[in-house]
Structure 1
Amino acid sequence: MQRMDIYEILLMLRKRWKFLFSSILLFFSAATVVVIYVIDPTYEASEAILVGDLERGTEYAQTEQNNMLLASTMDFLRSPMVKTEVSETLAIPYQQLDEQIAIQHNERSQLINIVVHYHHQEEAKNIARSMADSTVSFMEQSLGVNELQVMNNASEVVDARRVDNPVMNIAIAFIVSLFFGVSTTFLRHQYVGVIQHPEELERELQLLLLGEVSVKKGKSKQEFQHYAAKSEVNVRGKTTSETVD
């Protein structure tokens, strides 16, 4: 592959600006369609479970009990038992559901946050709510615990906001389109570079072109040689007696 400096690359891009513009426009249009119509939006919904109460001055035994409840509740949230019930209730594949749920807990806090990322706003809210309700129900049935409280008492209260940024995605698509456009133009120049005008041949060879021959499409090599033997070649600056067709 022939090496090119920056000046030669700029000249090449200037000479093939139509192809460069067409390539960028094509890549950018395709990427924009993918971002808008193919890639699903992502919504985030969260629900919180309060373990114990928030009264101050609790005794050491009560604190230890709250810590045990916190650990048990988080184990239930992460267990397949709760996720399986939610998966069956909402008719969402288990693997897909498991990938969209995150359990968060800050140290010294009695709140456990259930964060859900999903491509449907209402489904994200329903998943967060169902995870909290199922966990509290399992804790009450299995351990006889009645000290858990779901912070939002209805799925309509759960807030679901869009967390992906389509404008940023389109901006990234434009930058990628620039890269692909320049790369495609460079490859076309290196491997499919066809000289279309005599002036380009003079610049490439740095030689003076004395003449040019025009041959009709469909003429065979033997026919061309036959006509060339009988005719004079067009020379720049001179009048010829016959022009080869």
Structure 2
Amino acid sequence: MEETISLKELFQTIKKRLGLIVLLTVLATALSGVVSYLLLTPIYQSSTQLLVNQSQNEQGTVDVNQIRSNVEIISTYNVLIKTPAILDKVSQELNGQETYSTLSSIITVAAEGNSQVLKITVQHPDPVMAASIANTTAQVFQNEVPTLMNVDNVKILSPAQVGENPSPIKPQPVLNMAIAFVVGLMAGVGLAFLLEFLDNTIKNEQDIEKLLELPVLGSITVIEDKDIQQAIRQQRQAKTRTRGETVGS
């Protein structure tokens, strides 16, 4: 006999295990909120922008080839900024508060699209320190480029600044709790169906037919004690009324 699962059975399973599903969803969401708000360290981000200048020719017009060269050299600058030649000096400027390995892990360098603007981004638990590292890195790089590359085409376009009320970029508690809610809900539903699949007890006539592959001819309902007592009282009352009618006649 081929087994089929109807939508009604699916909804019945969800309804039967609704408490478990809700419990797992609430626990996952609450745990995510506790971890996000109380255990994870807030990380702040600060960035500064560098401009790789284009040069002008004797007629005062922009040299297109020089612009293309400046854009291409940005890839070299991306690598150069995170080398010990730059970051060791940044560490010295910061009085050794951050080591080369630490600076290398928290600093990100990337070009702004295909422009001549280079962006240095720093992520740090202290917003003031993040801005300080970004500005120090930009300044050290600007000072060292003429020596390392024999060019002087870098200017600080926009230094990093700290706002009055800086907000951390991570963790994001609301997003984490939303993800935990969805994961908890899916886990709860999955566990509910797993428990239902592992439950091999016989609950109704359909289960008997599936197990024995025989039709059910009849069933005996469950009679509770209160139903028996009620039936006895009704029977006694009926006998009393019958006797009263007999005496009266």
Q: Distance in 2 between matches of 1:144 and 1:180?
A: 60
Deviation at 1:130, TM superposition (A): 2.2
Q: What does residue 12 of structure 1 align with?
A: 13
Stretch deviating more after TM superposition (160-169 or 20-29): 160-169
Task: Choose from 155, 163, 173 the match for 1:166.
Answer: 173
Task: Choose from 163, 171, 178 the match for 2:185.
Answer: 178
Deviation at 1:141, TM superposition (A): 4.8
Asked if 1:79 is matched to 2:83, the reply is yes
Q: What does residue 148 of structure 1 align with?
A: 154
Asked if 1:25 is matched to 2:29, the reply is no
Asked if 1:138 is matched to 2:144, the reply is yes
| Structure in which a larger fraction of residues adopt helix | 2
* Cα separation, partners in 2 of 1:173 and 1:137, compared to 1, 3 Å: same
Per chain length, whose mean CA-contact separation is higher, i.e. which structure has more relative contact order (CA < 8 Å, sep 6+)? 2
* Cα separation, partners in 2 of 1:13 and 1:162, compared to 1, 3 Å: same
Which protein has the larger Cα radius of gyration, Structure 1 or Structure 2? 2
The correspondence of residues 41-190 of structure 1 with structure 2, limited to 5 A, is: 41-52=42-53, 57-58=61-62, 73-87=77-91, 89=94, 91-92=97-98, 94-106=100-112, 109-142=115-148, 147-152=153-158, 156=162, 162-164=168-170, 165-190=172-197
Q: Distance in 1 between matches of 2:116 and 2:64?
A: 15
Contact 1:45-1:160 within 8 A present in 2 as well: no
Contact 2:108-2:121 within 8 A present in 1 as well: yes
Contact 1:46-1:160 within 8 A present in 2 as well: no
Deviation at 1:29, TM superposition (A): 1.4
* Cα separation, partners in 2 of 1:122 and 1:78, compared to 1, 3 Å: same
Stretch deviating more after TM superposition (20-29 or 104-113): 104-113
Letter in 2 for 1:24: T
Letter in 1 for 2:117: L
TM-score (norm 2): 0.61
Aligned partner of residue 220 in structure 2, secondary structure: coil
Deviation at 1:39, TM superposition (A): 3.8
Q: What does residue 230 of structure 1 align with?
A: none
Deviation at 1:178, TM superposition (A): 0.7
* Cα separation, partners in 2 of 1:13 and 1:115, compared to 1, 3 Å: same
Aligned partner of residue 151 in structure 1, secondary structure: strand
**RMSD of aligned Cα (Å):** 4.3
* Cα separation, partners in 2 of 1:161 and 1:30, compared to 1, 3 Å: closer
Structure 2 unaligned regions, length at least 5: 209-215, 232-249
Letter in 1 for 2:26: L
Deviation at 1:38, TM superposition (A): 3.3
Contact 1:202-1:208 within 8 A present in 2 as well: no
Q: Distance in 2 between matches of 1:27 and 1:95?
A: 35
Deviation at 1:69, TM superposition (A): 7.1
Q: What does residue 239 of structure 2 align with?
A: none
Structure 1 unaligned regions, length at least 5: 213-233, 240-245
Deviation at 1:46, TM superposition (A): 1.4
Deviation at 1:179, TM superposition (A): 0.7
Number of equivalences: 213
